[in-house]
Structure 1
């Protein structure tokens, strides 16, 4: 009888430890990419604030780990609102294979992006890219090809108006730029790779958008959720040498529908309550608005665990 009592006590004492020891996997893109840095920040907050153990699982890009999350092999990741929406309904590079197991956790921050050239380049505008050599293809990061189509369209160009060098992803394109193989490269503002290339070539400059209705209409033929955002020079914005209009789309944390409600509830709570920790890990989270985490991401549904937390704090459905 006494042994049974000790056993029961041991099980009760072990229960909190088992919850604390819960392991979640966080899918990230290639080291140096923005989504590797973003995923690392999310994992850090899960480790430090959610009472769980987060393990990073790098992939070539989000379009590779999105199916892994949908199938339940990975618990959580960060990607663009556009790509997650396309994945859920089976469009673009997910044509014919909808990723029905994806659920949103929350809107994270504006993913700002553009085309970079050397600071002393004679390329001054996006239209000046005509006839220049740029990375293309993005076989393992196909959202980048869609983003570049939008950028070309903003200047009345298409990929056929430039010479191209085929790359697997944006990191490879940045490496080709650093070695002089291409004249410009596409990347997210604030990415670790941008800082590396900026130092390697003696300075970068991001090409500006004009912020006209016509330009935005052309962009939204490819990226319906995109918007313009003025960027300021600063240590976290290499390549921004003066106030410059960049293109942006929201970055979204998403999870597998098969990940338990309780786990996603705790992760959502930790992200909502710890903006400072996210910013300390990755400065792009300065643009994170915790009380806008639950904004509509149609056609993507929110995970029930996230919705439970949003309802508790009164921010569900834009409250």
Structure 2
């Protein structure tokens, strides 16, 4: 009898131990998504300066991930495209907002990147519109009038700066032909107000919050590009013809012809397929909420998935798109 009681007690202790181990394992398991597959405990998304669309949209994505997937996510203040891609390459952030042309440079390890960055596309965001801004009473009326002027060209590490170097060289100028000022959006607004710059060349969504802010004290004007100037860019797959719509700013009474570069959300290429799938699904299925964050969210559509060229999509993103009938090459 004593032996049987000892055996019974041993069995009870084993069952209790197993139960406690199961509880401990559940408590230590990473936060799961609605599908129970998301393996990441945190997702940091590189944006840019807080007054720019990159950061605003990164914050919107983080909010969706927090609320819909139950994962701690935060938008990071960074220098923009170039820095975001370098941070992804160094495994310091999981995702980031970037220009497609800069992402291609990162993949190839050229220009601002001293080595290739392993990065993949997550979803299309919006076309970033090139906007050449000056004050209403400025004598600047064409691109060539920028020569010799103090021009805000973007902060160090930004995609804006990288693209502006291309814009200047393509249209017959260079950084040596102007007096470049390496300013963020917020700094550019202040510089216009204190008279320390003559103009700014930026590629960002319209309306840009910092320009709207500037308009509250200083009427502005936008310098149009000619069809010939625009054509020098649109030969590349990641540039498209665009206009700054007259309704974007109160200073405008007509659309301004220009061009745009596509913006995409990218991630570390070795993130799990399930993790990226769940993020893409959550963002696409909460598009209406994102439109309240910024009007550019209207471009996050399945129709625009193929607008991102030259940067391979992550397998998790491809899985979601295939479910929706969108075939994307897994190159």
**What secondary structure does 2:54 align onto?**
helix
Q: Match for 2:142 among 122, 125, 137? A: 125
What residue number does 1:40 align with? 59
| Structure 2 residue 69 is matched with structure 1 residue 50 | yes
Q: Which consecutive residues of structure 1, in runs of 5 or more, have no partner in the other structure?
A: none
Q: 1:275 to 1:175 in 2, by over 3 A?
A: same
CA contact (8 A) 2:46 2:80 kept: no
How far residue 47 of structure 1 moved from its aligned partner, in angstroms, is 2.1
What residue number does 2:223 align with? 207
Question: Once the two structures are superposed, what CA deviation does each residue of 1:201-231 show, in whole Å capped at 9, x if it has no partner?
Answer: 2x22221122x2x32343358x662122123
What residue number does 2:315 align with? 304
**What secondary structure does 2:217 align onto?**
helix
Tell me the distance in 1 between the aligned counterparts of 2:122 and 2:301. Answer: 14
| Structure 2 residue 254 is matched with structure 1 residue 242 | yes
Question: Once the two structures are superposed, what CA deviation does each residue of 1:37-93 show, in whole Å capped at 9, x if it has no partner?
Answer: 121122122223333221122222221121211232211111101011111111211
Q: 1:13 to 1:206 in 2, by over 3 A?
A: same
Q: Which consecutive residues of structure 2, in runs of 5 or more, have no partner in the other structure?
A: 1-11, 34-39
Tell me the distance in 1 between the aligned counterparts of 2:284 and 2:189. Answer: 33
Q: Larger Rg: 1 or 2?
A: 2
Tell me the distance in 1 between the aligned counterparts of 2:193 and 2:101. Answer: 29
Tell me the distance in 1 between the aligned counterparts of 2:169 and 2:325. Answer: 40
Listed as ranges, the matches of 1:166-205 within 5 Å are: 166-187=181-202, 188=204, 189-201=206-218, 203-205=219-221
Listed as ranges, the matches of 1:138-177 within 5 Å are: 138-141=155-158, 143-152=159-168, 156-162=172-178, 164-177=179-192
Q: How many residues end up aligned between the 2 structures? A: 308
CA contact (8 A) 2:302 2:321 kept: no
Taking structure 1 as the reference length, the TM-score comes to 0.84
**What secondary structure does 1:93 align onto?**
coil
CA contact (8 A) 2:100 2:308 kept: no
Q: 1:229 to 1:102 in 2, by over 3 A?
A: same
